[in-house]
Structure 1
Amino acid sequence: MARSDAWDIDVPYYIELDVAADDIDRLEHVNNSVYLKYLERAAWHHTEALGLTWDSYRELDAACVVHRHELDYLQPAVFGDTLQVATWITQNDGRLAMWRAFQIRRKSDGRTVFRARTHYVCIRLSNGRPRRMPQLFVDAYRPAPGANPGGNDRSGN
């Protein structure tokens, strides 16, 4: 089992987010639906860091859309926490689909509060139908060095 204060891979891409009052539910922790917003934000930042933009997607008439999420809520995050939302590509078949892993840590103590995997499929923007992944996507969305294709590394997931 992984140490809860360690990243699941050696050098993940991550962003930092401050938990806002609007993120909190009646149980006084981050609502489960808000984590999906965090994942989307980190994925887009990572995509842009890899050199792809929304304009790239439109020019290629291609996008990667969510097919499946696997989510593990490990500890509560609360108002005022600063979260480090990490993401990396674990698998890309070079044709239609890829997997992206996520790990969220609380900055103050380094504890992992959340892990996820998301399966994406490539579609044609103009009609929403599946399409072969453009070579630019294949090249940009390469699995991270040391990534575990079956899940988050060191997490036991």
Structure 2
Amino acid sequence: MHDTDDAHSEQESSAIHEPRLWRDKGWTARVIKNEDGDGWAVEMIRDGSAEPALVGPWTMGRNKVDPKPLDATAHQTLVKTASEVIRRHEQQLHAQLNKQCSIETESGSLTVRLVVTPDEFEPFGTLTAVDPFGDVIATVKVPPDFKLTRTRAERWAADGFGRIQ
């Protein structure tokens, strides 16, 4: 048996298909009492995550008291929705941590990029000037809250790409 077969059969053996708990394909759907009042909610947790990626309302069953049972179709729909939520969050985080602008200098056009490296203890930013061929002209470390603007990038270039305080 190959390693991938072991992982696949291990995942299959850890699968749970119950009316209020459905674990499969790297995700767990759990139907819970709605904290905001009446009814039910469903939370989607990706394997290895401590927090749910998605929490939303869940449909009542036919008796109007108990929740509708989870099934494979509902789980698949919830996986798609939760995956989309995570993808959007990752795109938003990437946009917050990565900025760039174009400037004109005496020697031609440059792209100035700011990449913030989030770190629990010492986050920092890296400012890089790149020519049209992709060659790095200069790189400096900046504070993690550095705001990249075209004016600041032009001033950095005009000052010879030195350290920024």
Select the structure of larger CA radius of gyration: 2
Query: Whose helix proportion is higher, 1 or 2?
Result: 2
Q: TM-score, normalised by structure 2?
A: 0.25
